[in-house]
């Protein structure tokens, strides 16, 4: 057992070392004004009452959304002459674990959006340093599913539309990189075709927080 633990610890150490070297290399070879980031977080998904009614028809039952996990990645162009402003693109994926709904069925949901994004460090006027605000406008898909293991039945509902998200956070510089903590607010309007109802608008959102690594 001791050998296994030692081997595992050495493997983790090697992986971390390779990751640090890779990030340092990426920082050295990337253009000076280009910044990348990736992060993770969680948030409470909200679904409008009208949308809950539409999903009840679409899925054959209803549920209350649970806390979802977030994954994000982004790239920004931020020359020093822009005084803390960066413009770029951002991808966010969010998914929630199964929620027990009507008749004991399990309900799952996930969604993503690809957006154009502006990130601004108003106080420091230096990108990746201090307090910032972010606004992202994008498009993406919402997928919900009702599953009943007893009857081995599954029902899906898809919707595509637009998302607006805003963040307020703080970046702590670490050399040429940074770690950021941010609050997250999002609202989405998507359209889908529902049996018996036709084309309907589905509105949802999220309130949460993320940890971001910038390089």
Average pLDDT per run of 10 along the chain, which is 215 residues long? 40 44 49 90 91 82 84 96 96 84 77 96 96 97 78 77 96 93 95 84 93 95
Q: What pLDDT does 198 receive?
A: 87
Residue 83 and residue 155 in one domain: yes
Q: What pLDDT does 24 receive?
A: 52
Residue 60 and residue 6 in one domain: no
Residue 16 and residue 55 in one domain: no
Find the CATH number of the domain harbouring 68. Answer: 2.40.160.20
Domain range for 187 = 33-214
First CA to last CA across the chain, in angstroms?
Answer: 38
- pTM beyond 0.75: the answer is yes
Check: CB of residue 89 under 8 Å from CB of residue 115.
yes
Q: Which residues contact 110 (CB under 8 A, 6 or more apart)?
A: 68, 93, 94, 95, 96, 142, 143
């Amino acid at each position: 057992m001791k050998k296994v633990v030692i081997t595992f610890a050495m493997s983790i150490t090697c992986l971390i070392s390779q990751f640090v070297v890779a990030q340092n290399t990426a920082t050295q070879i990337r253009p000076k004004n280009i910044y990348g980031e990736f992060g993770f977080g969680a948030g409470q998904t909200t679904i409008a009452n009208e949308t809950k009614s539409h999903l009840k028809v679409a899925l054959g039952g209803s549920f209350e959304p649970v806390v979802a996990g977030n994954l994000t990645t982004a790239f920004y162009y931020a020359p020093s002459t822009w005084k803390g402003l960066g413009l770029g693109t951002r991808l966010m994926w969010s998914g929630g674990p199964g929620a027990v709904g009507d008749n004991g069925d399990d309900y799952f949901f996930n969604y993503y959006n690809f957006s154009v994004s502006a990130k601004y460090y108003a106080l420091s006027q230096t990108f990746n340093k201090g307090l910032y605000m972010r606004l992202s406008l994008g498009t993406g898909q919402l997928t919900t599913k009702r599953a009943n293991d007893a009857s081995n039945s599954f029902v899906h509902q898809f919707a595509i539309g637009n998302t607006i998200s805003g963040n307020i956070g703080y970046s702590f510089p670490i050399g040429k990189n940074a770690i950021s903590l941010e609050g997250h607010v999002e609202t989405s309007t998507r359209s889908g075709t529902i049996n018996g109802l036709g084309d309907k608008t589905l509105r949802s959102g999220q309130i949460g927080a993320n940890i971001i690594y910038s390089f």
